[in-house]
Amino acid sequence: MKIFCTNAFTGEDFDTVSRRMKAVVNALNNAGHEAYCPIFDSHKIELQAKNDTRAIFNYAFTNIANSDAMVAIITSDRKSEGQLMEAGAALAANKPLFAFIHQSAAQSPTHLTKLAKKTFTWSTNQELTDALTHI
């Protein structure tokens, strides 16, 4: 299954997000999926350097359309506009959404848990990568 991986980016520590998302991609690939994460895509990085927000989202939406499912990594109770738009695009295209919510954000109100095919709660990166093998 080709899986689009979404995560909050704005306001987050880039190194922490990069390490976590690399582990997410590796866990999904090792489970037999084809994981795609935009933060590692050189074309998306070029669009960011040009500060072309519309092109960034159009590119993301194209990649979502070409995916079979979405994995949303949620680490905070702060809502990420980009992540929510990506999740909305996946849901509008009838792609299954798998929500992986850090325990610190698990009590935060969100519609994603109601719309997700499956929701997982995790507290450590190891728990996260273990849970990714169950989608």
Q: Whole domain around residue 83: which residue ranges?
A: 2-132
How many CB atoms neighbour CB 71 within 10 A? 28
d(CA 54, CA 106): 31
Does the structure show a pLDDT above 90 at 11? Answer: no
pTM for the model stands at 0.94
- The model's pLDDT over 67-97, given as tens digits with 9 standing for 90+, comes to 999 999 999 988 899 999 999 999 999 999 9
Nearest to 41 by CA among 84, 89, 9: 9
> Per the structure, how many domains does the chain have?
1
The CATH number that applies at residue 88 is 3.40.50.450
Q: What does DSSP assign to residue 54?
A: H
Percent of the chain with pLDDT over 90: 85
State the pLDDT at residue 127.
97
- The model's pLDDT over 29-55, given as tens digits with 9 standing for 90+, comes to 999 999 999 999 999 999 999 999 999
